[in-house]
C-alpha cells in the first residue's frame, strides 16, 4: 500500500532507536522508498550500517555533507512524502517546537511542508515534564501528528508512560495519511463494506465445512478502495491487520450479523465472500466419536442469503455480488443477478486453476442490472479490484 511512496524516517537519541530497524522493514515490505536521517546521538543506539542495510539507502546525519549543489535539508524536505520522527526525544521535540535547526533532522523538519508524525519515547518524568507537554502541544496545534507513548516497562527500569507506541500504530498512521492526503477525489470517506473468505460452518469442536476461498479477492478490493480514499470495513474469515476497520467472523450467521451492523451507513457493499449455502443443523458440542457404522449422516439447513436480504433492504447503497461458476458462466451470472437483485454481479470461472479461488490472479466479467457486461482479462487480484472499483464507483 506504500508502493513508490517516499518515507523519510528521523531517528533521535533514545534507546527505542533500535525498534526503528523493524519499522524500516515494514515500510520496505510495502515497497516504500525509505531514507533515514539520524541525529548524531541516535547513532549511539543503533549503527549506521544496520540502518543502511535495512533501508537500502545511505543514512544522512550531517547537514554539510552535500553530494550535489542542493542543500541536503531542503532536498529531503522537497523529495519526501512524509516525515516520521521516531523515537522523538524530549530534546528534539523541544527544538522543533522552538524552531531550532541545529542538525540535519531538525533543519529538515523546519523546512518540511508535508505531514510529520512524531512518536515520542522517553522516561516518564521527562515525558510528564510540563515543558515537554507544552512543546508537544505546540507541535500538535500546528498540525504534527503526535502518537502518544504507551505505559509499560521502560529501559530505565521503571514502569510508566514513555514507551514508544506500537510500531503498527506508526505504520498504520503513515498509510492513513498518505492515502488520505490526496483528498481531491469524490470518493473520500464513502463507506464500503467488503466481505472476504469462505465461511466456516462447525460440525463439532474439531471439524467444520468450508471452501477454498482465501479471502484475497475481498482483501484486494478493500485495500484498493482504501487507497482511493474510501472508508472500507472488511468483514473476513481470514483475519489480517489493516489500517482500516477489519471484523473477523467465522460462520455465515456471524457474517450476516456483522454486515447488517455496517449496512445502514454503507455507500457500497461488495460480497466477495464465499458464503456456505448450508450449515450443520445440530452442531455437536462434543467431538463426534467414530462409531461402528460406515456412514455418518449430517443434516444440513439452509443459511440465510445475505446478499439477497441486503438487496431487498437497500436504500441508497450500491450492492455488488460475486458469483463463482464452474459452467455456463454468463447465463448463470445473469440469472443470479436477477434473482439476488443486486446492482452488479461479478462472475468468475472457478473451473480454472489459474484464477479465482486461492489464486493471486483473477479474470472476471462484471454484469450490471441494465444488461451491460465488461470482461476484465486475467491479471493480479489488486489490478482486478482497481478495475472493478472503477466500474462500480462510476
Ligand atoms: O477468496 P479468494 O480465494 O480470493 O477467491 C475469490 C472468490 C472466487 C471466492 C470470489 O471471487 C467469489 O467468486 N466469491 C463468491 C463466491 C460465492 O459464494 O458465489 P455464489 O455464487 O455461491 O454466491 C453468490 C453471491 O451471493 C456472493 O456474492 C455470495 O457472497 C453471496 N451469498 C451466497 C450465499 C449466501 N448464503 N449468502 C450470500 O450472501
Mean pLDDT of the chain: 93
pLDDT attached to residue 153: 85
pLDDT of 15 > 90? The answer is yes
Percentage of the chain modeled with pLDDT above 90: 79
**304 CA closest ligand 1 atom index:** 36
Burial of 293 (C-beta count, 10 Å sphere; 0-12/13-18/19+) = exposed
Instruction: Provide the grid cell at 290.
Output: 467414530
Fold of the 6-178 domain: Rossmann fold (3.40.50)
pLDDT, tens digit (0-9, with 9 covering 90-100), for 102-148: 999 999 999 998 899 999 999 999 999 999 999 999 999 888 999 99
pLDDT attached to residue 72: 72
Which of 273, 388, 392 to probe ligand 1 with, by most ligand atoms within 8 A of CB?
Answer: 273
| 70: helix, strand or coil | coil
Cβ–ligand 1 distance for 277 under 6 Å, the answer yes
Tell me if 6-178 shares its fold with 185-286+296-393. yes
**320 CA closest ligand 1 atom index:** 28
Q: How far apart are CA 52 and CA 35, in angstroms?
A: 9
pLDDT of 32 > 90? The answer is yes
Q: What is the pTM of this model?
A: 0.71
Report domain extents, the chain.
Answer: 6-178, 185-286+296-393
Cβ–ligand 1 distance for 198 under 6 Å, the answer no
Active site residues: 156
Q: Are 105 and 9 in contact (CB under 8 A)?
A: no
Q: Which of 8-22, 23-37, 170-184, 229-243 has the lowest mean pLDDT?
A: 170-184
pLDDT attached to residue 62: 84
pLDDT attached to residue 183: 46
142 closest CA partner among 110, 180, 103: 110
For the residues 319-334, what does the mean pLDDT come to? 92
pLDDT attached to residue 70: 66
Cβ within 8 Å of residue 118, ≥6 positions away: 85, 86, 88, 93, 96, 136, 139, 144, 145, 146, 147
Which class does domain 185-286+296-393 fall in? alpha beta
Confidence of residue 344 (pLDDT cuts 50, 70, 90): very high
| 240: helix, strand or coil | coil
Instruction: Provide the grid cell at 9.
Output: 524516517
Confidence of residue 380 (pLDDT cuts 50, 70, 90): very high
Confidence of residue 20 (pLDDT cuts 50, 70, 90): very high
pLDDT attached to residue 180: 66
Cβ–ligand 1 distance for 259 under 6 Å, the answer no
pLDDT, tens digit (0-9, with 9 covering 90-100), for 48-97: 999 999 999 999 988 777 666 667 778 888 899 999 999 999 999 999 99
Residues in the chain: 394
Backbone CA torsion sign across 210, 213, 214, 216: negative
pLDDT attached to residue 181: 52
Cβ within 8 Å of residue 360, ≥6 positions away: 216, 380, 381
Amino acid at each position: 500500500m506504500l508502493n513508490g511512496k517516499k518515507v523519510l524516517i528521523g531517528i533521535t537519541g533514545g534507546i527505542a532507536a533500535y525498534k526503528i530497524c523493524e519499522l524500516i522493514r515494514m515500510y520496505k515490505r510495502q515497497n516504500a522508498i525509505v531514507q533515514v536521517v539520524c541525529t548524531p546521538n541516535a547513532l549511539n543506539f543503533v549503527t549506521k550500517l544496520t540502518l543502511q542495510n535495512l533501508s537500502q539507502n545511505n543514512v544522512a546525519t550531517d547537514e554539510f555533507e552535500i553530494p550535489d549543489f542542493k542543500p541536503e535539508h531542503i532536498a529531503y524536505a522537497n523529495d519526501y512524502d512524509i516525515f516520521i520522527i521516531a523515537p522523538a526525544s524530549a530534546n528534539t521535540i523541544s527544538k522543533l517546537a522552538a524552531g531550532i535547526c541545529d542538525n540535519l533532522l531538525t533543519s529538515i523538519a523546519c523546512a518540511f511542508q508535508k505531514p510529520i508524525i512524531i512518536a515520542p519515547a522517553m522516561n516518564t518524568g521527562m515525558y510528564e515534564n510540563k515543558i515537554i507537554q507544552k512543546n508537544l502541544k505546540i507541535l500538535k496545534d500546528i498540525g504534527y501528528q503526535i502518537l502518544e507513548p504507551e505505559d509499560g516497562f521502560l529501559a530505565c527500569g521503571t514502569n510508566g508512560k514513555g514507551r514508544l507506541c506500537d510500531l503498527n500504530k506508526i505504520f498504520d498512521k503513515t498509510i492513513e495519511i498518505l492515502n488520505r492526503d490526496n483528498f481531491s477525489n469524490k470518493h473520500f470517506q464513502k463507506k464500503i463494506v467488503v466481505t472476504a473468505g469462505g465461511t466456516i460452518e462447525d460440525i463439532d469442536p474439531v471439524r467444520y465445512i468450508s471452501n477454498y476461498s482465501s479471502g484475497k479477492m475481498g482483501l484486494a478490493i478493500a485495500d484498493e478502495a482504501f487507497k482511493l480514499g474510501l472508508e472500507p470495513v472488511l468483514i473476513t474469515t481470514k483475519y489480517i491487520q489493516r489500517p482500516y476497520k477489519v471484523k473477523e467472523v467465522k460462520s455465515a450467521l456471524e457474517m450476516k450479523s456483522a454486515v447488517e451492523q455496517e449496512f445502514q451507513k454503507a455507500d457500497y457493499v461488495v460480497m466477495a465472500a464465499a458464503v456456505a449455502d448450508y450449515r450443520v443443523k445440530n452442531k455437536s458440542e462434543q467431538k463426534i466419536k467414530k462409531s461402528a457404522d460406515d456412514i455418518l449422516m449430517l443434516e444440513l439447513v439452509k443459511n440465510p442469503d445475505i446478499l439477497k436480504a441486503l438487496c431487498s433492504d437497500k436504500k441508497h447503497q450500491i450492492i455488488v455480488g460475486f458469483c463463482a461458476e464452474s459452467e455456463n458462466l454468463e447465463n448463470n451470472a445473469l440469472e443470479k443477478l436477477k434473482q439476488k437483485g443486486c446492482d452488479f454481479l461479478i462472475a468468475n470461472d472457478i473451473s480454472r486453476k489459474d484464477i479465482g479461488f486461492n489464486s493471486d490472479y483473477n479474470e472476471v466479467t462484471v454484469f450490471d442490472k441494465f444488461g451491460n457486461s465488461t470482461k476484465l482479462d486475467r491479471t493480479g487480484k489488486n489490478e482486478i479490484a482497481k478495475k472493478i472499483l472503477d466500474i462500480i464507483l462510476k
